[in-house]
Amino acid sequence: MSSGSTRCWAGGYYRGASVLITGFPGTAKTTLSGAFAEAACKRGERTMFVSFDSDGTEVIRNLLSVGIRLDRYVKSGVLRMISARTISGSAETYLVRIKTLAREHRARCLVIDPVSTLSKSGNELTAHSVAERLIDWSKADGTTLICTSLLDEMASQSEGGSPLQISTLADTWIHLNYLVQAGERNRGMSIIKSRGTAHSNQVRELILSDKGVTLADTYTAGGEVLMGTLRWEKENAERTANEVTEVAAKLKRVLLDAEEAVLEVRAKSLQTELVAKQVEKALLARTTEIRKSEQTRGRARMGELRGTDSPALRRK
């Protein structure tokens, strides 16, 4: 994930954009936030990561399992990890403290994980106002803001807004959910909106491994998006079918090549036979012509020898 100065590039966000990541517990909200923070730090942009649920060292440790290494950026000073557990008070207090720390760090990118915790620090109306002012401040300051929002796992599995109802304020809204198929629970990711940028409307499988975070290409069968084992089985069956088809095609090509070779031999044999017949025909014609010429000369010679047949003698 990346952000440009005045416009997005390489598929990233606009500078100063606000990005909301919603999802149920375990859908990889913190992981995506960590991937964003790592990408920003790689570009040398000062970043601050505020965690409400875990201590900063725990976040760094947990992200190591998916190939995201934030420790080196903490050591270099580019990244600052803040545990919101050290901040007590109302949502207003959180806002003031976060803004102060961000200014001290000169942060160009800010991650708050999860922002929905603000709703527990006062009444909902106040928390919404604080979240709204946080977004306005980040835009005015030119700071790219990533906020995660935890959805109630007992609530409907439909794409709902965050508890603070800030989904309408965010420039980009990424929703993470689970897709249960064949006894498996697989992660899915979709972009509900992204102002000013083209984006896919498809649900993509989000795969976490020790090599990092990847998105699998959308794979459908019978009008249904397949993920996990079902996808692997279907892809494996298609690969096997393609291999069988390829082998059959190769065998067919070998047979056609053999038949072509036989036909070429037959064609050459017929051509040779045709040439022989043409030579024989020409020889026959020449022989016939020679024989006729010899016969004509022979009759003329016989007439000369007989004398009586000479025209001069016949006149006498």
Q: What is the mean pLDDT of residues 296-300?
A: 80
**pTM: predicted TM-score of the whole model, two decimal places:** 0.64
Question: What is the per-residue pLDDT across 156-209, written as a single tens digit (0 to 9) for each?
Answer: 444 445 555 677 788 899 999 888 766 777 888 888 888 888 777 778 888 888
Is residue 136 over pLDDT 70? yes
228: tokens are: 């996990």
Distances (CA, A) of 267 to 84, 262, 272, 275: 88, 8, 9, 12
pLDDT at 154: 42
Question: What is the per-residue pLDDT across 209-250, written as a single tens digit (0 to 9) for each?
Answer: 888 888 777 665 555 665 555 566 666 767 777 888 888 888
Would you say residue 232 lies in a domain?
A: no
pLDDT at 159: 47
Residue 37: CB atoms within 10 Å: 28
pLDDT tier at 277 (50, 70, 90 boundaries)?
confident
Residue with tokens 């809204």: 173
Highest mean pLDDT among 33-42, 78-87, 271-280: 33-42
Question: What is the per-residue pLDDT across 209-219, written as a single tens digit (0 to 9) for each?
Answer: 888 888 777 66
Residue with tokens 């070779």: 261
Q: Which residue has the higher pLDDT, 162 or 91?
A: 91
CATH label of the domain that carries residue 203: 3.40.50.300
Distances (CA, A) of 48 to 29, 59, 120, 167: 16, 13, 22, 22
Would you say residue 25 lies in a domain?
A: yes
Note whether 30 and 59 are within 8 A (CB): yes
Q: Which residue has the higher pLDDT, 155 or 212?
A: 212
Q: What backbone phi and psi angles, to 5 degrees, belong to 134? A: -60, -45
Instruction: Tell me the percentage of the chain whose pLDDT exceeds 70.
Output: 78
| Number of domains comprising the chain | 1
Would you say residue 128 lies in a domain?
A: yes
Note whether 37 and 63 are within 8 A (CB): no
Would you say residue 255 lies in a domain?
A: no
Beta bridge partners of 214: 207
Which helix (H) or strand (E) covers residue 263, if one does? helix 228-306
Which residue range is the domain that position 74 belongs to? Answer: 18-218
Would you say residue 161 lies in a domain?
A: yes
Would you say residue 63 lies in a domain?
A: yes
Mean pLDDT of the chain: 80
Is residue 48 over pLDDT 90? yes
- Sequence-distant (6+) residues with CB within 8 A of 46 are 78, 79, 80, 105, 106, 107, 108, 109
Note whether 54 and 198 are within 8 A (CB): no
Would you say residue 135 lies in a domain?
A: yes
pLDDT at 58: 92
Sign of the four-CA dihedral 8, 166, 115, 209: negative
Question: What is the per-residue pLDDT across 116-128, written as a single tens digit (0 to 9) for each?
Answer: 777 665 556 677 7
Q: What is the mean pLDDT of residues 236-265?
A: 84
CA 233 – CA 27 distance, rounded (Å): 23
